[in-house]
Amino acid sequence: MLRKAFMMKVYPGQQQEYEKRHQEIGPEKAEELRKHGVKSYSIFLSPKTSELYWLIEIKDEQLWSEMAETEINQKWWEYMSPVMETHPDHSPVSFDLQEVFHLK
């Protein structure tokens, strides 16, 4: 299993809406994530800074990268773009985090 971590940012005043939208993720999006090798997926929010920290465990880097091109993911990005920082194509502005320690 590969572990990946990212950092993103929610717009000020949109923290509750961001969380609400993820509570309503729907089985289609969850199934698509599983089909693309996601074993575990967590998002943490820093209320002080509105920063999001994502941690995922995936089976395969190539399979995971194909998730971005799926129709359901494209719709999700568009749906989330009003509440978080995104690029013009609605993909989230994100920064990879380097893992420096992991205790198994």
Which of 22, 87, 90, 102 is catalytic? The answer is 22
Q: How far is CA 38 from CA 6, 9, 27, 66, 86, in A?
A: 15, 22, 14, 12, 22
Residue of 45, 52, 57, 54 whose CA lies nearest to 3: 57
| 36 classed as catalytic | no
Instruction: Provide the annotated active-site residues.
Output: 22
